[in-house]
């Protein structure tokens, strides 16, 4: 309930959640509290930033409070450009409030320039900037961290007066106020006395403020925890910064009046200031940048049409009436909505990218539904051929900015942004801020650290929070019985979770949005504040607020797959001399189709997961068009609703396809009666009820948002339209309800088609140019130690050998070498860019290296030093010279010494005409005849120096014993909690700990060919198998799956050394097979008798006698599966 008060007061010094990890006041709660206290005005003055401005403005407007836009800026004690302390001071505080639109623009300039030019621990303005951008700004002297209060606290009244005179000179007497605060600090009493005296002396207004950092007094402890999170301290740390009391909240006018009983004018002045402040934002007014059109064209519209018509013959050799009609229609809508320049801007930077050889995606999102985008090369899908709708992209009945997201080669994306900066001006282009917020688990961990709780205790609590998207602590308390019980039974957990609920969702830090770029007609600081991150301008308003202000926001996405495609094409050119145009590959190809139908989808864009692989196999695509639905089908909604089964059943004729009305057949035929795409919803509404596609899109959106009132109004229109089309009312009602239901599952066909095209392109390259493609794929993930082994193993399965780095054959990255793939020199640890450049330069200049001595002599030993050479030897880079690695290592010191001597002699001219001696084979050193190190040692060297096993794997010699066991990668997504599994791997890490009872247990990491798995071994199991829990030991482990945390883990209860592991057979003959089947099984057992235990299921598992045990030959398993079926045989 709103309070009624007779005291005039407005809070003018207020921090929100956007004073990151210092302000604990959520904007919504803050404004609601101000209204509750009967206030009519409220300011926002976050520290040095204006992140929260738009949220604050909108919330104030919503709740009937007048918003005052301001900032507590940091003031440099000297020139802002000087990054140093002045007499121990880095910065002061100063409150600046925007009095009008001019003041807002100047405030934006000040905050932006503080970030761009004045950053020294904090973004700082200086007196020069204040003089330059003072107009329309009201200045308050700030808290005791202001320079005037500080001078008074230090008993330097003369300095305080000089500063006041300077501020008056800058802002004028009417716009400069002295600020008094009372939080019980002795320094405040000193400052206030001086400020009151000087206000009277100089005829200045006094202003009473409270340094509000949280909403209510009881939030002070929560705020204190937030400070600890910011400083990485605990609440018990005696040396940390803390506030002196719990007075830093949004106080009532009565509380403020009680603090300053002798100065009522200091309160009334706040309202006078607030009444003077009037800043408003205009939302939704589109402000596109100017696009410079050639002089030959009268305007944007004419130039856009000319570009489209010029492209018509290449895109449509036969320009039919349908094509021309669609083009004319789209151009008319684009012009009517004022977006001609938008399309020209996008065309321009995409065209530049292609001219520079930068890969551009075929389109993403709804833009693929536009023939204009297709003709301009913005997208690469014919919307007419694939029945993609323009209105899904740009609806003439809903005025919103077009949204074209563009994928670029991720390595060269920055070049495109740089071009846009050059084109429109560096101060017109910026990337967009985003905020990392504290999610449920993160909040628990942050608060737990701040409270000084043990890692184990906090970890236990955090792990009880369910791993679901958008999970909150309140949801977790409802969803998890264990979490709720702990909350209710443990005082520590209860306190932690309560504070975490307060922290949850607050912004923790700012960062740069991965893709968002804004392009403005005028310098960005005419609209919004900017800061700097790694030399790049970044808006202080997020992407939604940027768009609300009418600025052009685009997503420039770096897509790794485009880089892979580009690198593959370069590899093909280098190895085969072929020039492949990826946009001209056949969209129907038997080899590509066969590969996909067999489930060989590794490294294929969007098709790699096991679930998607199975879907592709079930779907059995014959061409690119068949891939389009896979992207739409492989989502939780369709997978859980039976849509996938209906679609595949209809496709393969296993299920009859029916349509609720004959008019639906042309629309739903391609999806076998299933409403799969959003575009189909629009077409159904158009055909049945006579809606325009624009109206149909509005209805589709209403269905998706489930807004009841809008839906009911739309439903009435739909039913009327159906009635006029002679469609039965009951059927119309049923169809409408079905469409509303399917709106949850419907997917954008344009996006599906665009991504399916990239998937087809990668599949085609993999099928036809396997080595070139996989080399590019490995290069793209070279910095990801978890991904490289996965693609190495895939290459092996494709029959491609992975060759070690080679001083004479390797490029920088992975390359193709006679149909195999060779590691690049960049993969070798300790071999930096300078060394690689030197090696490749020497090789190019004087040919291949002939020996270790030749290598060392021809290269500068300062750049390619002994450490570099040792790494190269150990990983196999000298193997092609025909020497053993052990031999080369044994003479390395001697060879490097001789090479240095020769280089020194050559430099002093002592070799003279005999300089060729540096390359003389005959002068090479004799290598000692030493044995090569064991294979495992060699493999260890490879992993040590590249991060990977190259010429083999420690598990290779046990493949006959463990090859049938599931790979660790197959566990993810395919096992249930507490399911018993067996896996094989190499122990890479083993950490022993002592339990509270004094027992020893162990946390172990096991690695196979592609993945790692964390394994917990409890005390009883540890005692039994402790001699096996040593790094580099190949083992087989059995245990229960633990799915409680974010990833699959194993609780092991049995461990075998891999060399002793004996696989076991578990046979389950079908009951209907009878005696005849058992007879055949006995014959098979006699044929393949061996020493591997067999268990037979006959109502229960029975271990058979040794006479029925089997051998371990691959054909034994094959014949068993042929006899009993794949589900009737399990080998463990």
Q: What is the pLDDT of residue 1081?
A: 87
| d(C-alpha 576, C-alpha 597), whole Å | 27
Residues in the chain: 1132
- Reported confidence tier of residue 916, pLDDT bands at 50, 70, 90: very low
DSSP secondary structure letters along 793-832:
HHHHHTT--EEPP-TTT--SS-EEETTEEE--GGGSTT--
Per-residue pLDDT at 1: 43
CA–CA gap between residue 582 and residue 685 (Å, rounded): 37
pLDDT of residue 909: 67
Burial class (CB in 10 A: 0-12, 13-18, 19+), 844: exposed
Alpha carbon 668 to chain centroid, angstroms: 35
Q: Return the closest-CA partner of residue 1015 out of 1025, 1026, 1004, 1000.
A: 1004
pLDDT at 978 over 90: no
Dist. CA 222–CA 236, nearest whole Å: 14
* C-alpha distances out from residue 497 to 454, 460, 1023, Å: 15, 12, 37
**Per-residue pLDDT for 159 more than 50?**
yes
SS3 (DSSP) at 63: helix
Burial label, 1027 (beta-carbon count in 10 A; 0-12, 13-18, 19+): exposed
- Residue 253 near residue 8 (C-beta atoms within 8 A): yes
Instruction: Give me the pLDDT at residue 734, please.
Output: 93
From CA 528, how far away is CA 109, in angstroms rounded? 8
pLDDT above 50 for 913: no
Q: What is the dihedral of CA 326, 327, 331, 337, to 10 degrees?
A: 30
**Alpha-carbon gap, residue 925 to 922, rounded angstroms:** 8
* 907 pLDDT higher than 80: no
State the chain's mean pLDDT as an integer: 91
Nearest residue to 556 (alpha-carbon basis) of 409, 715, 367: 409
Tokens representing 241 are 């910064």
Chain centre to alpha carbon of residue 1038: 35
Asked if 31 and 39 count as a contact pair (C-beta separation under 8 A), the reply is no
pLDDT digits 0-9 by tens, 384-401: 999 999 988 888 887 788
Residue 719's contacts (CB-CB under 8 Å, 6 or more residues apart) are 689, 729, 732, 733, 736
pLDDT in tens, 586-615: 999 999 999 999 999 999 999 998 889 999
Q: What is the CA radius of gyration of the chain?
A: 36
Scored b (16 or more CB within 10 A) or e, 234-250 reads eeeeeeeeebeebbbbb
pLDDT of 348: 96
Distance CA 991, CA 1004 (A): 6
Whether 299 shows a pLDDT value over 70: the answer reads: yes
The terminus-to-terminus CA distance of the chain in angstroms comes to: 69
Q: Is residue 126 a contact partner of residue 132, using CB atoms and an 8 Å limit? A: no
Question: What percent helix, strand, coil does the chain show, rounded to 5?
Answer: 50, 15, 35
Indicate whether this model's pTM tops 0.95. Answer: no
Q: What is the DSSP string of 525-557?
A: GGTS-EEEETTEEEESS-HHHHHHTTBEEEEEE
CA geometry: angle 1109, 1115, 1120, nearest 5 deg: 60
Q: Distance (Å, rounded) from C-alpha 694 to C-alpha 682?
A: 9
Pairing of strands 1065-1067, 1089-1092: unpaired
| Residue 784 vs residue 765, higher pLDDT | 765
Q: What is the signed CA dihedral for 823, 828, 834, 840, rounded to 10 degrees?
A: -30
| Multiple choice CATH, 785-946, 1.10.3470, 1.10.150, 1.20.58, 1.20.5 | 1.10.150
1045 confidence band (pLDDT: 50, 70, 90) = low
**Superfamily assignment of 27-276 in CATH?**
Metal-dependent hydrolases (3.20.20.140)
Percentage of the chain exceeding pLDDT 70: 97
Q: Across the beta sheet with 507-519, what order do the strands follow? A: 405-409, 552-559, 507-519, 429-437, 536-539, 530-533
Kindly report each contact of residues 300-306 with a partner whose C-beta sits within 8 Å and lies 24 or more positions away, as own/partner.
300/340, 300/341, 300/344, 301/331, 301/335, 301/340, 303/340, 303/344, 304/331, 304/334, 304/340, 304/343, 304/344, 304/372, 305/331
3-class secondary structure per residue, 669-691: HHHCCCCCEHHHHHHHHHHHHCC
Q: How confident is the model at residue 922 (pLDDT cuts 50, 70, 90)?
A: very low
Burial of 808 (0-12, 13-18, 19+ CB in 10 A): middle
pLDDT in the model for residue 591: 97
Yes or no: say if 46 and 16 are a contact pair by the CB < 8 Å rule.
Answer: yes
What are the phi and psi torsion angles at 554 (to 5°)?
-130, 155
Contact 565, 761 (CB under 8 A): yes
Tell me: the pLDDT tens digits for 484-519? 999 999 899 999 999 999 999 999 999 999 899 999
What is the domain partition of the chain in residue ranges? 27-276, 300-429+514-560, 439-504, 785-946, 956-1060, 1065-1131
The pLDDT confidence band at residue 1046, using thresholds 50, 70 and 90, is low
Answer positive or negative: Cα dihedral of 511, 512, 516, 517: positive
Q: Backbone phi, then psi, for 1060, in 5-degree steps?
A: -105, -5
pLDDT in tens, 641-693: 888 999 999 999 999 999 999 999 999 999 999 999 989 988 999 999 999 98
Kindly state the average pLDDT of the residues 766-773.
98
Tokens 């950053």 locate to 119
What does the pLDDT read at residue 888?
A: 94
Q: Which residue has the higher pLDDT, 838 or 7?
A: 838
Q: Which of 566-580, 902-916, 923-937 has the highest mean pLDDT?
A: 566-580
Token readout for 195 is 């400020």
CA distance 542 to 632: 29
Question: Span 252-263, mean pLDDT?
Answer: 95
What per-residue confidence (pLDDT) applies to 705? Answer: 74
Residue 366 clears pLDDT 60, i.e. is over it: yes
Please compute the mean of the pLDDT values over residues 291-298 and round it to a whole number. 93
What b/e string do you get for 576-590 counting C-beta neighbours within 10 Å, with b at 16 or more?
eeeebebeeeeeebe
Report which of 647, 703, 645, 701 is spatially closest to residue 675, judged by C-alpha positions: 647
Pairing of strands 405-409, 552-559: parallel
The token pair that represents 455 in the structure block? 């890692």
- Domain 439-504, what fold? Arc Repressor Mutant, subunit A (1.10.10)
- 789/57: higher pLDDT: 57
Give the Cα separation of 66 and 86 in Å (integer): 39
**473 is written with which tokens?**
């602590």
Is 554 in contact with 406 (CB distance < 8 Å)?
A: yes
What does the alpha-carbon distance between residue 1046 and residue 468 come to, in Å, rounded to a whole number?
9
Query: What is d(CA 426, CA 806) in angstroms, rounded to the nearest whole number?
Result: 44
pLDDT in tens, 190-225: 999 999 999 999 999 999 999 999 999 999 999 999
Distance of alpha carbon 696 from alpha carbon 702, whole angstroms: 10
Question: Are the beta carbons of 1129 and 1117 closer than 8 angstroms?
Answer: yes
Determine what percent of the chain is predicted with pLDDT higher than 90: 71
* 789-793, 904-908, 994-998, range with greatest mean pLDDT: 789-793
Structure tokens at 741: 């239901």
Is pLDDT above 80 for 1071?
no
- Interhelix angle 678-689/693-705, rounded to 10 degrees, is 120
User: Which CATH class, in words, describes the domain spanning 956-1060?
Assistant: mainly beta
């Amino acid at each position: 309930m709103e309070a009624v008060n007779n005291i005039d007061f407005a809070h003018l010094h207020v921090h929100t959640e956007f004073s990151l990890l210092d302000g604990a006041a959520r904007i919504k709660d803050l404004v609601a509290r101000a209204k509750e206290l009967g206030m009519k005005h409220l300011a926002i003055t976050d520290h040095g930033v204006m992140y929260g401005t738009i949220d604050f403005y909108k919330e104030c407007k919503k709740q009937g409070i007048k918003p005052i836009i301001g900032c507590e800026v940091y003031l440099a004690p000297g020139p802002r450009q000087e990054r140093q302390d002045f007499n121990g001071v880095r910065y002061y505080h100063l409150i600046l409030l925007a009095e009008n639109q001019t003041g807002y623009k100047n405030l934006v300039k000040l905050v932006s320039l503080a970030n761009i030019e004045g950053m020294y621990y904090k973004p700082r303005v200086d007196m020069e900037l204040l003089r330059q951008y003072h107009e329309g700004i009201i200045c308050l002297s700030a808290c005791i961290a202001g320079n005037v209060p500080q001078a008074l606290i230090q008993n330097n009244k003369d300095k305080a007066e000089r500063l006041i005179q300077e501020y008056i000179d800058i802002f004028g007497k009417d716009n400069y106020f002295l600020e008094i605060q009372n939080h019980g600090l002795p320094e405040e009493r000193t400052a206030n006395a001086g400020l009151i005296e000087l206000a009277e002396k100089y005829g200045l207004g006094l202003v009473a403020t409270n340094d509000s950092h949280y909403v209510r007094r009881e939030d002070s402890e929560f705020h204190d925890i937030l400070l600890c999170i910011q400083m990485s301290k605990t609440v018990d740390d005696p040396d940390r910064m803390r506030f002196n009391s719990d007075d830093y909240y949004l106080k009532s006018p009565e509380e403020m009046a009680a603090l300053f009983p002798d100065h009522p004018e200091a309160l009334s002045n706040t309202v006078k200031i607030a009444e003077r402040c009037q800043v408003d934002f205009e939302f939704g007014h589109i402000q596109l940048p100017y696009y410079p059109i050639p002089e030959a064209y009268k305007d944007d519209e004419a130039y856009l049409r000319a570009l489209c018509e010029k492209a018509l013959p290449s895109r449509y050799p036969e320009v039919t009436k349908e094509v021309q009609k669609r083009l004319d229609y789209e151009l008319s809508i684009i012009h009517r909505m004022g977006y001609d320049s938008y399309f020209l801007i996008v065309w321009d930077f995409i065209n530049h990218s292609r001219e520079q050889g930068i890969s551009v995606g075929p389109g993403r999102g709804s833009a693929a539904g536009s023939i204009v985008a297709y003709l301009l090369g913005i997208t690469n899908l014919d919307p007419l051929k694939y029945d993609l709708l323009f209105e899904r992209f740009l609806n003439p009945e809903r005025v919103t900015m077009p949204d074209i997201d563009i994928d670029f080669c991720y390595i060269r994306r920055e070049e495109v942004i740089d071009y846009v900066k050059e084109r429109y001006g560096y101060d017109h282009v910026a990337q967009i801020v985003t905020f990392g917020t504290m999610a449920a688990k993160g909040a628990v961990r942050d608060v737990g650290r701040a409270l000084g709780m043990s890692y184990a205790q906090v970890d236990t609590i955090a792990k009880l929070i369910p791993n679901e998207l958008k999970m909150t602590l309140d949801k977790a308390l409802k969803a998890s019985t264990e979490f709720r019980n702990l909350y209710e039974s443990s005082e520590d957990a209860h306190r932690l979770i309560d504070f975490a609920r307060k922290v949850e969702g607050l912004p923790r830090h700012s960062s740069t949005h991965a893709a968002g770029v804004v392009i403005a007609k005028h310098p960005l600081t005419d609209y919004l504040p900017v800061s700097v991150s790694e030399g790049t301008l970044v808006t202080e308003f997020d992407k939604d607020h940027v768009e609300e202000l009418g600025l052009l926001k685009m997503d420039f996405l770096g897509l790794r797959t485009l880089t892979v495609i580009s690198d593959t094409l370069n590899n093909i050119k280098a190895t085969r001399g072929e020039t492949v145009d990826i946009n001209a590959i056949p969209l129907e190809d038997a080899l590509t189709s066969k590969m996909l139908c067999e489930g060989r989808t590794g490294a294929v864009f969007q098709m790699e997961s096991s679930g998607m692989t199975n879907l592709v196999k079930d779907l059995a695509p014959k061409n690119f068009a068949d891939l389009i639905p896979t992207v739409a089908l492989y989502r939780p909604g369709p997978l859980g609703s039976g849509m996938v089964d209906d679609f595949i059943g209809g496709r393969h004729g296993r299920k009859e396809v029916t349509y609720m009305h004959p008019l639906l057949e042309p629309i739903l035929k391609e999806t076998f009666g299933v409403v799969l795409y959003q575009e189909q919803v629009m077409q159904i509404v158009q055909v049945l009820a006579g809606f325009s596609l624009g109206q149909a899109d509005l209805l589709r959106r209403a269905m998706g948002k489930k807004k009841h009132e809008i839906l009911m109004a739309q439903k009435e229109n739909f039913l009327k339209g159906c009635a006029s089309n002679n469609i039965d009312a009951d059927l119309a009602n049923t169809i409408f309800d079905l469409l509303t239901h399917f709106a949850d599952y419907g997917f954008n066909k344009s996006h599906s088609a665009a991504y399916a095209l990239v998937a087809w392109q990668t599949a085609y390259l993999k099928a036809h140019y396997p080595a070139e493609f996989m080399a590019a794929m490995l290069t793209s993930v070279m910095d990801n130690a978890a991904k490289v082994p996965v693609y190495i193993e895939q290459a092996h399965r494709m029959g491609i050998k992975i060759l070690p780095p080679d001083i004479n054959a390797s490029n920088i990255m992975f390359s193709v070498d006679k149909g195999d793939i060779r590691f690049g020199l960049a993969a070798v640890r300790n071999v930096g860019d300078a060394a690689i450049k030197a090696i490749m330069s020497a090789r190019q200049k004087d040919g291949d290296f002939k020996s270790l001595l030749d290598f060392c002599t021809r290269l500068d030993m300062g750049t390619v030093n002994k450490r570099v050479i040792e790494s190269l030897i150990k990983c196999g880079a000298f193997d092609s010279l025909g020497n053993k690695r052990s031999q080369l290592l044994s003479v390395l010191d001697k060879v490097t010494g001789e090479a240095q001597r020769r280089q020194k002699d050559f430099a002093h001219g002592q070799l003279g005409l005999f300089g060729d001696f540096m390359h003389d084979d005959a002068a090479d050193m004799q290598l000692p005849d030493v044995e090569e190190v064991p294979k495992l040692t060699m493999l260890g060297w490879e992993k040590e120096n590249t991060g990977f096993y190259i010429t083999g794997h420690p598990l290779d010699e046990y493949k006959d014993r463990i090859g049938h066991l599931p790979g660790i990668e197959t566990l993810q997504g395919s096992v249930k909690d507490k399911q018993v599994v067996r896996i094989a791997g190499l122990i890479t890490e083993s950490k022993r700990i002592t339990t509270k009872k004094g027992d020893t247990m162990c946390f172990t990491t096991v690695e196979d060919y592609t993945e790692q798995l964390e394994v917990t071994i409890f005390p009883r199991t540890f005692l039994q198998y402790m001699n096996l829990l040593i790094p580099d030991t190949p083992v087989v482990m059995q245990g229960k799956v633990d799915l409680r945390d974010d990833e699959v883990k194993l609780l092991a209860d049995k461990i075998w050394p891999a060399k002793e592991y004996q696989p076991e057979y578990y046979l389950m003959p079908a009951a209907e097979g009878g005696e005849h089947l058992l007879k055949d099984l006995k014959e098979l057992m006699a044929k393949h008798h061996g020493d591997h235990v067999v268990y037979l299921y006959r109502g229960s598992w029975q271990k058979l006698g040794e006479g029925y045990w089997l051998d371990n030959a691959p054909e034994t398993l094959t014949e068993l599966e042929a006899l009993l079926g794949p589900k009737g045989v399990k080998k463990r």
